[in-house]
């Protein structure tokens, strides 16, 4: 093959390989997992704050 034909082959779109598709799927799953962890941490922080406020509101007065 000539150099021009090789360059043309490199420019032609090709379907992604199975390994590339798996890597993209793994990347997407990792993004979703990270987002889920951030949401859970934020929800946990809000829950901790609410519990602390409840403890303060319902604890007997200190003498």
Structure confidence by residue, pLDDT tens digits, 3-37: 787 787 778 788 889 999 999 999 999 999 999 99
Residue 4 is inside which H or E element, if any? helix 3-11
- Given a cut of 80, whether residue 49 has pLDDT beyond it is yes
How is the chain split into domains, by residue range? Answer: 17-58
pLDDT (0 to 100) of residue 63 = 67
Taking CA atoms, 1 is separated from 4, 7, 44, in Å, by: 8, 10, 62
pLDDT (0 to 100) of residue 59 = 86
pLDDT (0 to 100) of residue 12 = 75
Q: Which residue has the higher pLDDT, 4 or 2?
A: 4
**Distance between CA atoms of residues 27 and 21, nearest Å:** 10
Across the range 46-54, mean pLDDT stands at 96
- Cβ pair 55, 47 in contact under 8 A: no
């Amino acid at each position: 093959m000539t150099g021009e034909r090789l360059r043309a082959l490199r420019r032609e779109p090709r379907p992604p390989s199975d390994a590339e598709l798996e890597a993209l799927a793994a990347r997407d799953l990792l993004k979703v997992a990270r987002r889920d962890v951030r949401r859970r941490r934020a929800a946990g922080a809000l829950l901790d704050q609410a519990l602390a406020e409840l403890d303060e509101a319902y604890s007997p007065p200190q003498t």
